[in-house]
Protein backbone atom coordinates (compact mmCIF):
# COMPACT_ATOMS: atom_id res chain seq x y z
CA UNK A 1 0.00 0.00 0.00
CA UNK A 2 1.32 3.43 -0.87
CA UNK A 3 1.68 6.27 1.63
CA UNK A 4 -1.11 8.24 -0.07
CA UNK A 5 -3.43 5.21 -0.02
CA UNK A 6 -2.69 4.70 3.68
CA UNK A 7 -3.41 8.32 4.57
CA UNK A 8 -6.62 8.28 2.54
CA UNK A 9 -7.81 5.15 4.36
CA UNK A 10 -6.81 6.48 7.80
CA UNK A 11 -8.54 9.82 7.19
CA UNK A 12 -11.65 7.99 6.01
CA UNK A 13 -11.69 5.87 9.17
CA UNK A 14 -11.24 8.97 11.31
CA UNK A 15 -14.04 10.79 9.52
CA UNK A 16 -16.42 7.87 10.09
CA UNK A 17 -15.39 7.37 13.70
CA UNK A 18 -15.42 11.03 14.72
CA UNK A 19 -18.72 11.54 12.92
CA UNK A 20 -20.29 8.93 15.20
CA UNK A 21 -19.22 10.64 18.44
CA UNK A 22 -22.18 11.83 20.52
CA UNK A 23 -22.01 15.64 20.67
CA UNK A 24 -24.09 15.70 23.86
CA UNK A 25 -21.47 13.47 25.52
CA UNK A 26 -18.74 15.88 24.44
CA UNK A 27 -20.71 18.81 25.90
CA UNK A 28 -21.08 16.89 29.20
CA UNK A 29 -17.31 16.30 29.16
CA UNK A 30 -16.61 19.99 28.55
CA UNK A 31 -18.93 20.91 31.44
CA UNK A 32 -17.11 18.51 33.78
CA UNK A 33 -13.77 20.00 32.77
CA UNK A 34 -15.11 23.52 33.28
CA UNK A 35 -16.46 22.72 36.76
CA UNK A 36 -13.35 20.90 38.04
CA UNK A 37 -10.92 22.41 40.51
CA UNK A 38 -8.10 20.05 39.54
CA UNK A 39 -7.96 17.64 36.60
CA UNK A 40 -6.14 14.31 36.72
CA UNK A 41 -5.37 11.94 33.83
CA UNK A 42 -5.07 8.17 34.15
CA UNK A 43 -4.14 6.48 30.89
CA UNK A 44 -1.40 4.18 29.64
CA UNK A 45 0.45 3.56 26.40
CA UNK A 46 -0.51 5.39 23.24
CA UNK A 47 -3.92 6.29 24.68
CA UNK A 48 -1.94 7.89 27.49
CA UNK A 49 0.04 9.97 25.01
CA UNK A 50 -3.21 11.20 23.46
CA UNK A 51 -4.68 11.93 26.89
CA UNK A 52 -1.53 13.81 27.90
CA UNK A 53 -2.01 16.02 24.85
CA UNK A 54 -5.45 17.01 26.11
CA UNK A 55 -4.32 17.77 29.66
CA UNK A 56 -1.34 19.74 28.34
CA UNK A 57 -3.72 21.96 26.37
CA UNK A 58 -5.90 22.31 29.47
CA UNK A 59 -2.79 23.49 31.33
CA UNK A 60 -2.20 26.02 28.55
CA UNK A 61 -5.77 27.19 29.18
CA UNK A 62 -4.85 27.88 32.81
CA UNK A 63 -6.27 24.71 34.35
CA UNK A 64 -4.53 22.82 37.16
CA UNK A 65 -3.75 19.39 35.66
CA UNK A 66 -1.82 16.30 36.71
CA UNK A 67 -0.92 12.88 35.34
CA UNK A 68 -1.36 10.06 37.85
CA UNK A 69 1.89 8.36 38.72
CA UNK A 70 4.02 11.46 38.38
CA UNK A 71 5.82 12.56 41.54
CA UNK A 72 4.14 15.99 41.64
CA UNK A 73 0.59 14.61 41.72
CA UNK A 74 -1.35 16.07 44.70
CA UNK A 75 -4.33 14.60 46.51
CA UNK A 76 -7.70 14.25 44.79
CA UNK A 77 -10.66 16.14 46.22
CA UNK A 78 -14.43 16.36 45.95
CA UNK A 79 -14.43 19.02 43.22
CA UNK A 80 -11.80 17.32 41.06
CA UNK A 81 -12.07 15.43 37.78
CA UNK A 82 -10.39 12.19 36.79
CA UNK A 83 -10.07 11.62 33.04
CA UNK A 84 -9.50 8.00 32.01
CA UNK A 85 -8.66 6.73 28.52
CA UNK A 86 -9.43 3.01 28.29
CA UNK A 87 -10.38 1.19 25.12
CA UNK A 88 -11.85 -1.78 26.99
CA UNK A 89 -13.37 0.29 29.77
CA UNK A 90 -12.60 -2.64 32.06
CA UNK A 91 -8.93 -2.41 33.06
CA UNK A 92 -8.91 -3.27 36.78
CA UNK A 93 -6.38 -0.56 37.65
CA UNK A 94 -8.60 2.08 36.03
CA UNK A 95 -11.80 0.72 37.61
CA UNK A 96 -10.16 0.79 41.05
CA UNK A 97 -8.90 4.36 40.57
CA UNK A 98 -12.26 5.58 39.26
CA UNK A 99 -14.05 3.99 42.21
CA UNK A 100 -11.64 5.67 44.60
CA UNK A 101 -12.11 9.07 42.90
CA UNK A 102 -15.89 8.73 43.19
CA UNK A 103 -15.43 7.81 46.86
CA UNK A 104 -13.65 11.14 47.37
CA UNK A 105 -16.66 12.89 45.83
CA UNK A 106 -14.96 13.64 42.51
CA UNK A 107 -16.14 13.18 38.95
CA UNK A 108 -14.94 10.77 36.25
CA UNK A 109 -14.75 11.35 32.50
CA UNK A 110 -14.11 8.29 30.34
CA UNK A 111 -12.85 7.98 26.77
CA UNK A 112 -13.60 4.40 25.71
CA UNK A 113 -14.21 2.14 22.73
CA UNK A 114 -16.60 -0.09 24.66
CA UNK A 115 -20.25 0.72 25.31
CA UNK A 116 -21.69 -0.48 28.63
CA UNK A 117 -18.29 -1.10 30.20
CA UNK A 118 -17.60 -1.31 33.96
CA UNK A 119 -15.91 2.12 33.78
CA UNK A 120 -18.87 3.50 31.86
CA UNK A 121 -21.10 2.50 34.77
CA UNK A 122 -18.89 4.55 37.14
CA UNK A 123 -18.22 7.57 34.91
CA UNK A 124 -20.18 10.82 35.13
CA UNK A 125 -19.64 11.25 31.39
CA UNK A 126 -18.23 8.98 28.74
CA UNK A 127 -17.19 9.56 25.18
CA UNK A 128 -17.64 6.32 23.26
CA UNK A 129 -15.35 6.06 20.25
CA UNK A 130 -16.47 3.52 17.67
CA UNK A 131 -13.05 2.02 17.08
CA UNK A 132 -11.34 -1.23 17.99
CA UNK A 133 -9.44 -1.50 21.22
CA UNK A 134 -6.23 -3.58 21.38
CA UNK A 135 -7.64 -6.90 20.16
CA UNK A 136 -9.65 -6.15 17.05
CA UNK A 137 -11.14 -9.64 17.13
CA UNK A 138 -12.82 -8.70 20.44
CA UNK A 139 -14.39 -5.57 18.96
CA UNK A 140 -17.53 -4.92 16.97
CA UNK A 141 -15.60 -2.23 15.04
CA UNK A 142 -12.96 -2.78 12.36
CA UNK A 143 -9.95 -0.80 11.22
CA UNK A 144 -7.18 -1.44 8.74
CA UNK A 145 -4.80 0.05 11.31
CA UNK A 146 -3.11 -2.11 13.91
CA UNK A 147 -4.50 -2.66 17.38
CA UNK A 148 -6.03 0.52 18.87
CA UNK A 149 -4.50 3.13 16.55
CA UNK A 150 -7.88 4.49 15.45
CA UNK A 151 -9.03 4.79 19.08
CA UNK A 152 -5.87 6.61 20.10
CA UNK A 153 -5.96 8.99 17.13
CA UNK A 154 -9.60 9.74 17.92
CA UNK A 155 -8.81 10.65 21.54
CA UNK A 156 -6.25 13.16 20.26
CA UNK A 157 -8.62 14.75 17.75
CA UNK A 158 -11.64 14.79 20.07
CA UNK A 159 -9.47 16.44 22.72
CA UNK A 160 -8.29 19.07 20.25
CA UNK A 161 -11.87 19.75 19.12
CA UNK A 162 -12.96 20.07 22.76
CA UNK A 163 -10.17 22.59 23.37
CA UNK A 164 -11.31 24.63 20.36
CA UNK A 165 -14.86 24.70 21.77
CA UNK A 166 -13.58 25.74 25.21
CA UNK A 167 -11.34 28.42 23.69
CA UNK A 168 -14.37 30.11 22.12
CA UNK A 169 -15.85 30.42 25.61
CA UNK A 170 -12.88 31.42 27.72
CA UNK A 171 -9.35 31.93 26.38
CA UNK A 172 -7.36 33.04 23.35
CA UNK A 173 -4.52 31.22 21.66
CA UNK A 174 -2.22 34.08 22.68
CA UNK A 175 -3.12 33.64 26.35
CA UNK A 176 -2.47 29.92 25.99
CA UNK A 177 0.92 30.56 24.40
CA UNK A 178 1.98 32.61 27.43
CA UNK A 179 1.66 29.40 29.49
CA UNK A 180 3.70 27.35 27.01
CA UNK A 181 7.02 25.99 28.27
CA UNK A 182 9.86 28.48 27.89
CA UNK A 183 12.73 26.26 29.07
CA UNK A 184 13.03 24.36 25.81
pLDDT 10s digits, 1-17? 899 988 999 899 899 98
Closest CA to 165 of 19, 4, 34, 17: 34
Q: At CB < 8 A and 24+ separation, what contacts does 173-176 make?
A: 175/62, 176/57, 176/60, 176/61
Cα–Cα distance, 19 to 14 (Å, whole number) = 8
Overall number of domains in the chain: 1
pTM above 0.95, yes or no: no
- Is 140 among the catalytic positions? no
89 within a domain of the structure (yes/no): yes
107 within a domain of the structure (yes/no): yes
156 within a domain of the structure (yes/no): yes
Closest CA to 32 of 96, 102, 93, 90: 102
User: How far from the centroid of its chain's Cα atoms is residue 153's Cα?
Assistant: 10
E-only strand ranges, 18-176: 38-43, 64-67, 81-86, 107-112, 125-128
Closest CA to 91 of 69, 70, 122: 122
For residue 20, the domain's CATH number is: 3.40.50.10490
For residue range 58-78, what is the model confidence (pLDDT) as tens digits? 999 899 999 999 999 999 999
128 within a domain of the structure (yes/no): yes
Judged against a pLDDT cut of 70, whether residue 182 lies above it is answered with: no
Is 126 strand, coil or helix? Answer: strand
Cα–Cα distance, 10 to 145 (Å, whole number) = 8
Cα–Cα distance, 184 to 6 (Å, whole number) = 34
21 within a domain of the structure (yes/no): yes
183 within a domain of the structure (yes/no): no
Catalytic residue among 13, 15, 152, 174: 152
Query: What backbone phi and psi angles, to 5 degrees, belong to 117?
Result: -85, 165
Of 36-40, 51-55, 180-184, the range with the lowest mean pLDDT is 180-184
Cα–Cα distance, 161 to 181 (Å, whole number) = 22
184 within a domain of the structure (yes/no): no
Domain of residue 124, residue span: 3-177
pLDDT score recorded for residue 144 = 61
Sign of CA dihedral 77, 80, 81, 82: negative
Cα–Cα distance, 100 to 171 (Å, whole number) = 32
92 within a domain of the structure (yes/no): yes
Amino acid sequence: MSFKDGTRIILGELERTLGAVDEAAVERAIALIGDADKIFLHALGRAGFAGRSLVMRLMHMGREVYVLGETNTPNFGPDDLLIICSGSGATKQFVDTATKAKGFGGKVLLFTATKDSPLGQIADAEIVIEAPSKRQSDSEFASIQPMASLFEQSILLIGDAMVLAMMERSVTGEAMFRRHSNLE
